[in-house]
Structure 1
Amino acid sequence: MPKYRKKPVVIEAELYRPGLEDGFKDAFVSIGQVVRGEKIKIQKRPFIHTLEGDHIISPGDYIITGVEGERYPCKPDIFEKTYEKVE
């Protein structure tokens, strides 16, 4: 099977902080175990609009702005494996 390497592209990214979201949505949140499963509640969570639809943002996520100006969240462990800082 042929192998491919991602072309080097410089992107902008910053750790999520309040104010970077596009709004807040209701989302299910686990609040611990109960006798017959997990207890959940609905909570407002920040989100951003992406090319694939709205994505919930979590504390610690990076918000990446791609080469066409598109934005999307990225979990910190994936971000650190995929990107390195450009000076």
Structure 2
Amino acid sequence: MIKIYRKTATIKAEQFDGSDEMVKKYNITPPMPLDPDYTIQTLEGPLILGVGDWIATGVNGEHWPIVDNVFKQTYAELPGLHY
């Protein structure tokens, strides 16, 4: 029987703006001549990260990218909680 589940953990997230500050903060590999994409290290290995995508940080400090439209459909901001 299929059951329905929802996520109960909260995450921290920041929208990637391509700045050097964020590249350093999240150890992002910037675009190179032969590889024009930003990449971020995740538990599953390096993943492509675009400007405007969100960088999620999980409960154990792990990071992963989420494209903007998926992020907006999946997550809602908790009011009053900012870091």
TM-score relative to the length of structure 1: 0.71
Runs of 4 or more off by more than 3 Å in structure 1? none
For residues 4-83 of structure 1, what are the structure 2 equivalents within 5 Å?
A: 4-17=4-17, 18=19, 19-21=21-23, 22=27, 23-24=29-30, 26=32, 42-83=34-75
Please say if 1:86 is aligned against 2:81: no
SS in 1 for 2:14: strand
Percent of residue pairs identical: 33
Q: 1:65, 1:3 → 2: CA distance?
A: 27
Query: Could you say what the CA RMSD is over the residues aligned between the two structures, in angstroms?
Result: 1.9
* Structure with larger Rg: 1
Greater strand proportion: 1
Q: 1:53, 1:25 → 2: CA distance?
A: 17
Q: 1:3, 1:63 → 2: CA distance?
A: 29
Note the C-alpha offset of 1:46: 1.9
TM-score relative to the length of structure 2: 0.74
Greater helix proportion: 2
Note the C-alpha offset of 1:26: 4.4
* Unpaired segments ≥5 residues, structure 1: 28-41
